[in-house]
Structure 1
């Protein structure tokens, strides 16, 4: 569309990386933005929140924006067709017969399938798509975050998606807006997939509970995820607003999501810098250095000594996690990277590590009955602390 007021030539020029920049422009016309619309909202208010937030991003006009509508709905139609007539977006209505007669878990799985199928089979030839739930607010640099993370996903086969939300990105944890992390957890609020991922997932796509299916295999079983990670920001680029709650579990989860801080940094696509620290080998090596340096606290029952410097490492067995989560007001659902969850409490970096994760193998003294709070500074074969890694050892995180 011509809504952005820039000629194609000017757009290309604007996107060219300058000397010393890490940012590589993506072909915005090959990246579809897809807002998922459901039929049974009382008003179009929830959908409008996401659409307005998306249209408010300067670079959104360079992309094709779609509203994917799960089935016929006159109220939604009126709203979306109005926007369509202004040339703002494209409208796909799926032929789902009476979605209201299905359970929400089935509806979302079917709708996600139809949306991905529709977008990735589009003659426009989209290579990537970002899917947006309704009722979300977006940070000003949301599209820049995704653009910056895309080359890592395209290059590193152990990364299967990029997600805009850090579900432990609470304001009080003081994360950095320019840093990203790897996670084994999949959150479907706002996320990006490559066409190749859809081709791979399509034959086994579930008829219900697709987000749970994407998260299966955390305990080492075979799964769609197959040991891969998602790239997320330390500070969320998306925040749930309003009441798109479909189940009791979600209602419980909502109280945690409401504490998530939304990034406020002005748009600067170069602020993320060199993201090679996210490549699996680099990331794991840097994390191994931190795990080796961390002070071990005996268990999740140990009090975190806030008056002394971390990082601290707290091993946990299954149900211990929930107890720790209650104590420090964290969600029960484990949001981890291969068995390791990173949180910050009062500026102290804390690694919660599952007893059966590979990370504890780096601390053999833990199984030999040595004093649990002893701080070991062993030399590490991978060399010094990686300056690009979001965490500094041996002192508070600023």
Structure 2
């Protein structure tokens, strides 16, 4: 192997091919060699002659060209030294250098390509999501427009009915006034014609006196030319004279027929009040048919009384019928005005909703063109891992993780970690089947760990294993991975499409409000008949810790980790010593639900069939991150909540139940109802007070909500108040002022069951 070029005094030889290009001498001790700028090698003898100084030597001994010379030694220029190295060494050196260069460049190139690829995927995902949102907004806008058109048509119908009733009422008033004037005119003419007539006396006048007096009636008679004369109708035909010859007859009561006329009037009134059939959707109360004056006369003529009495009764009946009809018309007009008022309010709400959706659509389109505009300071930027607790239900784990992956917007923002406690191999295989989409951690099985369980809790040993599992998994997320928050789920939970949106938007509240310690996706009273199914944006503060899909912070873990319990961790958190008056955020419509696998587990299916399985999961996504949730901060929420309770009318539980069952009211409510934050139509919100735990249990059962307590706190309660919505009625179950909130001694007696 060739060595590096030695200096002139070195004993190390040069390569065997080195020689003087002039005299062909080979290197040897004491003989120096030089290399010229023309790339020729010459020995010292040929380069420098003894009679010429070195400084003046400029010509190459081989080619006689004017050159510069450098001695071949270790001080030779590195570039010239390479000319004397073994090519194999140079190749090895160059390969190493090239390899490092290629690896360095490829690493940076792949990093750049990965970044661009992820950016492209995000852009495509965002574009798809934006198109989906635009489609949903347009569909919702279409429905709102249809509803607005329907409301316009209904308003026009109601207005037409209103005008028709007013016109009809005016006609009847005019008709009644005309009739009265005609009756008065005909009565005066009749009295004038008969004022000079006298009745002949007979031998039958002993009971009435002998003086000749005219016959007077209580109501003037209407005499028509084509009918028998009024005197003939009263006294009959022929020469037989009436026994009434003395005294004035001024009322039917004098003839002893008051009782019959009263019964006639009652029957006539009943016929007038008989309701007619009307279309079910006209919004008006059924109205009796309107009798004409001729019908009233004919009805009265069926009885065998003198015509003066028949006519008087008919007139009285006619007046009463018109008064009843006027009352009915006024009632219908008032009801129609109320419906029109609610309709106008609903139209205003629809217009506002349409405008909001137009703004939302414009915002989405703007964000699609300018993705950087999406940035919202309220959206939590740090990763929020989803910690899934699993044991031995492989099918449940598979379904749950698939749902998480389906709705997860970002792998970096929401890493999924599955923590397994049991030694079930199927569960492990299922999780590992998701590849790098899911992180898998395995702890020593609780069955193999030395867990201390008190003798009285041997039958509850599963709860001690669960508490240990929670501590190990939370410590891994916070202490080892260093995350600032975590979303905790279990493998038997279903999730809503806006599950991640909900937690991403509410995370900042936990940092800004020291009185908040968790965000829960679960509503314990979230059954379909206890919630406002349209209020997918409605959120509450709650003193009750529900779990079943919830988020906590590392700050809370640092507080709880040193004192974490050996068992029953959830009840331990609900204890007043740990809760310290803090609240959780919860939704009106749950963002998690219970899958059929929830019936199999440590709880043995407690509450599953009666309550848990009936909780509704939201299927109408809401963009929480695009809205201001500051109303949930305590300084904003508490004043509104107390004002809301105070402004709600107090009703008994019986009245509330009756109102929810009233079909007419429910129909009216559904036709004019609208809901958004902190706005309710008057008289659609009510409160009922309870006096203690037994009273609360009984009233909760009447409303079909959960009636149990945890550390004295009713489920979903805030300041002792539990709310639900039934058939459009917002109901608040409120403790009386004398009742102590959250008495830890409150329990459910065994006689009341679950």
Instruction: Report the Cα distance in structure 1 between the residues aligned to 2:431 and 2:519, rounded to whole angstroms.
Output: 27
Q: Does 1:65 align with 2:416?
A: yes
What is the CA RMSD across the aligned residues, in angstroms?
Answer: 3.1
Q: Is there any run of 5+ residues in structure 2 with no aligned partner, and where?
A: 1-113, 127-366, 452-459, 666-682, 709-713, 742-754
Instruction: Report the Cα distance in structure 2 between the residues aligned to 1:352 and 1:269, rounded to whole angstroms.
Output: 28
* 1:19-38 pair list within 5 angstroms: 24-28=378-382, 30-38=383-391
Cα drift, residue 164 of structure 1: 0.9
For residue 252 of structure 1, give the secondary structure of its aligned residue in structure 2. coil
Cα drift, residue 297 of structure 1: 2.9
Give a deviation string over 1:319-348, Cα, whole Å, max 9, x none.
212212222221223221121111112211
Q: Which has the higher contact order (CA 8 A, sep 6+)?
A: 1
* 1:142-221 pair list within 5 angstroms: 142-172=499-529, 173-175=531-533, 176-217=535-576
Instruction: Report the Cα distance in structure 2 between the residues aligned to 1:323 and 1:236, rounded to whole angstroms.
Output: 25
Contact preservation (8 Å) 1:291, 1:359: no
Instruction: Report the Cα distance in structure 2 between the residues aligned to 1:290 and 1:269, rounded to whole angstroms.
Output: 23
Q: Does 1:256 align with 2:611?
A: yes
* 1:1-398 pair list within 5 angstroms: 6-7=118-119, 18=373, 24-28=378-382, 30-39=383-392, 41=393, 44-62=394-412, 63-83=414-434, 86-98=435-447, 103-123=461-481, 125-172=482-529, 173-175=531-533, 176-217=535-576, 223-245=577-599, 246=601, 250-266=605-621, 268-271=623-626, 273-298=627-652, 303-306=656-659, 309-316=683-690, 317-333=692-708, 334-335=714-715, 336-355=717-736
Contact preservation (8 Å) 1:23, 1:148: no
TM-score, normalised with respect to structure 2 = 0.42
Contact preservation (8 Å) 1:160, 1:228: yes
Distance 1:22 1:199, change over 3 A: same
Cα drift, residue 18 of structure 1: 3.7
TM-score, normalised with respect to structure 1 = 0.77
Contact preservation (8 Å) 1:50, 1:132: no
Contact preservation (8 Å) 1:131, 1:191: yes
Contact preservation (8 Å) 1:339, 1:357: no
Cα drift, residue 22 of structure 1: 6.1
Instruction: Report the Cα distance in structure 2 between the residues aligned to 1:3 and 1:252, rounded to whole angstroms.
Output: 49
Give a deviation string over 1:168-201, Cα, whole Å, max 9, x none.
2222322411121111111221111101111111
Cα drift, residue 260 of structure 1: 1.7
The structure that is strand-richer by fraction is 1
Greater CA drift, 145-154 or 51-60: 51-60
Q: Is there any run of 5+ residues in structure 1 with no aligned partner, and where?
A: 218-222, 361-398
Instruction: Report the Cα distance in structure 2 between the residues aligned to 1:142 and 1:253, rounded to whole angstroms.
Output: 22
* Aligned match of 1:386: none
Instruction: Report the Cα distance in structure 1 between the residues aligned to 2:488 and 2:116, rounded to whole angstroms.
Output: 22
Contact preservation (8 Å) 1:140, 1:264: yes
Contact preservation (8 Å) 1:180, 1:231: yes
Instruction: Report the Cα distance in structure 1 between the residues aligned to 2:417 and 2:737, rounded to whole angstroms.
Output: 43
For residue 208 of structure 1, give the secondary structure of its aligned residue in structure 2. coil
Distance 1:294 1:199, change over 3 A: same
Instruction: Report the Cα distance in structure 1 between the residues aligned to 2:738 and 2:516, rounded to whole angstroms.
Output: 19
The structure that is helix-richer by fraction is 2
Instruction: Report the Cα distance in structure 2 between the residues aligned to 1:4 and 1:54, rounded to whole angstroms.
Output: 25
Cα drift, residue 48 of structure 1: 1.2
Cα drift, residue 286 of structure 1: 0.3
